[in-house]
Amino acid sequence: MTSAIAESVALEPLIKGQAYGLGFDLVGITGLGPMDTSAAFDAWIANGYAGEMDYLARGAEKRRDSRLPFPGARSAIVVGLDYGGREPAGPIARYARGDDYHEIMTDRLNELHLWLQTELGQPVAGKAYVDTGPLLERELAQRAGLGWFGKNTNLVNPRLGSFFFIGSLIVDLDLAADLPFQMDRCGSCRRCLDACPTDAFVEARVLDATKCISYLTIELKGDIPEPQRQGVGSHIYGCDICQDVCPYNVKFARELREPAFAARDAIRGKDAPTLARDLIAIGDEDFRSSYRKSPMKRAKRRGLARNATVVLENLAVPDGEQAPSAS
C-alpha cells in the first residue's frame, strides 16, 4: 500500500497534532528498551510495600524491557490527560468522580492507532496501555519529556502539575524520540511528604502503599487496620493530599474541561457524612446504576460501605449535622 504521507513530511509532529486533537494535554515520544527503574520496582515489591497488590509482581520481564509487549515493538507515544486539579477537594479523589479513565484513554489511543495506520497506508502493529499492564509507564513518560518523578512518586509536569493520567501507544515504528526530562524540580521542598496523614512515605519517592489512604480505601480487601483508621479521615475513596499541597499543582493545576471526568450525580455536591450514609444504605441495583462506568466500582459496594463506616466513625457526626469534607 502507498503511504499517504509525503516522504519529506516528518511523522512525529503529525502524530502529536493528532493526539492533541483527540483531547490529550501532553504528548511525547520515546524509544523502547531496558527500563532504568525496574530494579527499584522489584525491590519495592520485595520490601512488602505493594501490600495485597500481588498483580504488580506479574510480567516482570515486560517491566524490565519495554520492547516485549509484542514482537517488533520499537517506540512509545506517551500521552497525558488532565482531570481537573482545580476541582474542590472532597471525600472522593478527583480522578474517580466521573467515568473510568482506562476506557476513555484507551479508546482515544486506539483512535490514534487507527489514524496512524490510515495516514501511513499500511498496517502498524500497536497496543494501548493505560495503567493496564506491566509497563513502567511513568518512566516512559519521563523519557518522553513529560515530567519528572515528584517526591510523592507522581509524575509532575512543569506546566500542568500532576493531576493527569498517563497512557501509552506502543508501536512497531522507529520514531524520533523527544529529549527525556532530566531535571528534578522538587528541590528541597517536602510538602507532600510532611502532609501525608498516615506517614506513607518511607522517604522521598518511596511510598509504602500499605499505609497510603488510596490503598486502604481501594486495594485493601479486608478491614482497615485500627491504627490506620483515624488517618483515613473523611476520605471514602482515594486521596489527593500529597498532590493538593504540591506547589506545581497550587500554581498550575487546571479547571476541569473533560466532561467525562465531572462528578456523577451520586457524588456531586455531597459532603463526606452524606455520601457515607448513602453508600452504606445503597442496594446492589442502585449501586450498579449510580456507579456505572465508575472507577469506584473497583472497591465494590462492600468496600465502599466499609470505608464509609470508618469515615463516619472518624467524623462522629450525629444525623442531620455536617462535617468538613476531605481535604
Instruction: Quickly list DSSP for 193-218.
Output: HHH-TT--EEETTEE-GGG-HHIIII
- Phi, psi torsion values for 274, nearest 5 degrees: -65, -50
pTM (2 d.p.):
0.93
Active site residues: 131
Calculate the dihedral angle through the C-alpha atoms of 99, 147, 184, 197, rounding to the nearest 10 degrees.
0
DSSP string, 140-168: HHHHTTS-EE-TTSSEEBTTTBS-EEEEE
Calculate the dihedral angle through the C-alpha atoms of 303, 60, 141, 218, rounding to the nearest 10 degrees.
0
Best CA proximity match to 191, nearest among 234, 233, 150 = 150
- Phi, psi torsion values for 96, nearest 5 degrees: -105, 10
Residue 92, all three cell numbers:
472522593
> Which parts of the chain sit beneath pLDDT 50?
1-2, 320, 322-327
Q: What angle (nearest 5°) sits at the alpha carbon of residue 185, between those of residues 183 and 186? A: 135
Q: Could you tell me if residue 72 is left (phi over 0), alpha (psi between -120 and 50 degrees) or otherwise beta?
A: left
Give residue 275's identity as a one-letter amino acid code: L
Please report where in the chains the cell 483531547 appears, as a residue. Answer: 23
Residue 2 pLDDT: 41
**Count of residues making up the chain:** 327
Residue 37 pLDDT: 98
Residue 6 pLDDT: 53
Residue 321 pLDDT: 52
Across the strands, what pairs with 164? 82
pLDDT digits (tens, 9 = 90+) for 127-138: 999 998 999 999
Residue 325 pLDDT: 46
Do the Cβ atoms of 136 and 63 come closer than 8 Å?
yes
Residue 9 pLDDT: 77
pLDDT digits (tens, 9 = 90+) for 258-294: 999 999 999 999 999 999 999 999 999 999 999 999 9
Residue 8 pLDDT: 57
